Amino acid sequence: MMTLAFRHTPKKGTGLRDWIMIKAVQWWTNSKYYHVELIANEKWISAHLENGIQMNELRTLSSDWDYIEVSDKRLANKNMRWIESQIGVEYDWLGILGLVVFKNKLGILHSTNKWFCSEIVTKILQTANDNRVTGLAASTVTPADLFEIYNKG
């Protein structure tokens, strides 16, 4: 099963820098969502500001998130190996700055070897051959874009 998890409520204890980033993403994208993660093969896959790409054991679902089931397929082993190879890769600050602050829909401002949340999730969905994101430049996709794409049906 693959599920998108969209975060809309900051966790308790969120620091000022992170809170400012959350509000900037929400404001610039005109969305309540500021973060997205992918749940696949009993794992939560995400990009975090401090730790970069992470894959963690499935945790209890919470009301701070909205969920959209995107597929009943499991990611193939080859796709999981690629995802595992990205664990620990740094967060793409340049990409998120270009996307959120400058509304960089051209994807020019981004690091080719780093990821932000919706960028890595889009890339994973593309490696799983999900035709709803085929042809999109992953570095131009926001959590709000993914919610709109997958909430249609």
pLDDT tens-place string over residues 119-151: 999 999 998 889 999 999 898 899 999 999 999
Asked whether 47 and 120 are in contact (CB, 8 A), the reply is: yes
Query: Hey, CA dihedral for 32, 35, 38, 42, is it positive or negative?
Result: negative
Map residue 116 onto helix, strand or coil: coil
Please report where in the chains the tokens 């975060």 appear, as a residue: 7
The answer to whether the pTM exceeds 0.85 is yes
> Domain map of the chain by residue range?
2-150
- Calpha distance 47→54 (Å, rounded): 6
User: Any bridge partners for residue 69, and if so which?
Assistant: 3
Say which CATH topology domain 2-150 has.
Answer: endopeptidase fold (from Nostoc punctiforme) (3.90.1720)
- Cα separation, 118 vs 70, whole angstroms: 15
Q: Please give the structure tokens belonging to residue 101.
A: 């602050």
pLDDT in tens, 47-71: 988 889 999 998 888 888 999 999 8
| Model confidence pLDDT, tens digit, residues 31-45 | 899 899 999 988 999
